[in-house]
């Protein structure tokens, strides 16, 4: 593990507003894997937030690159898994942030030697 690596547990709005939904949402979303990197979207920090209002969840996410060839499929899988985990309708909002390694939940994954 790198000296500057520290695990940053994901914190979404639902951690405060609907803590009973967090574990199921996280478990379902962890099933969505970025096929190019081989890590799930929670580990990568691609799920930026989840909010629930009026029994509808709004999930904000980003992709590792704006031109990700798997983007449309990952978005659809994310929506399906979020619905499964939260048990309610879900809308996906794409964020405009540029992904970088600091968004990862556990930056020690960089120590694989996969990235320079």
Please report whether residue 61 resides in a domain: yes
Residue 100 three-state SS:
coil
pTM here? 0.87
Task: For the chain, 116 residues long, give each residue's pLDDT as a single digit of tens.
Answer: 444 557 788 899 999 999 999 999 999 999 999 988 889 999 999 999 999 999 999 999 999 998 888 999 999 999 999 999 999 999 999 999 999 888 998 877 656 545 44
Please report whether residue 15 resides in a domain: no
Structure confidence at residue 116 (pLDDT): 42
Please report whether residue 114 resides in a domain: no
What's the number of domains the chain is made of?
1
Structure confidence at residue 101 (pLDDT): 85
* Domain encompassing residue 86: 25-103
Structure confidence at residue 2 (pLDDT): 44
DSSP structural state of residue 99: P
Q: What is the DSSP string of 45-98?
A: T-EEEEEEETTEEEEEE--SSTT-TTHHHHHHHHHHHHHHHHTS-EEEEE--PP
CATH number of the domain that residue 62 is part of? 3.30.300.130
Please report whether residue 11 resides in a domain: no
Structure confidence at residue 111 (pLDDT): 60
Cβ–Cβ under 8 Å, residues 57 and 90 = yes
């Amino acid at each position: 593990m790198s000296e500057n690596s520290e695990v940053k547990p994901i914190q979404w709005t639902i951690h405060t507003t609907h803590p009973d939904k967090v574990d199921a949402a996280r478990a379902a979303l962890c099933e969505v894997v970025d096929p190019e990197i081989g890590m799930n979207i929670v580990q990568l920090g691609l799920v930026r937030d989840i909010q629930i209002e009026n029994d509808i969840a709004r999930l904000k996410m980003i992709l590792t690159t704006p031109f990700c060839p798997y983007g449309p499929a990952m978005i659809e899988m994310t929506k399906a898994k979020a619905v499964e985990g939260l048990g309610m309708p879900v809308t996906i909002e794409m964020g405009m942030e540029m992904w970088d390694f600091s968004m990862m939940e556990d930056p020690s994954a960089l120590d694989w030697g996969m990235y320079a």
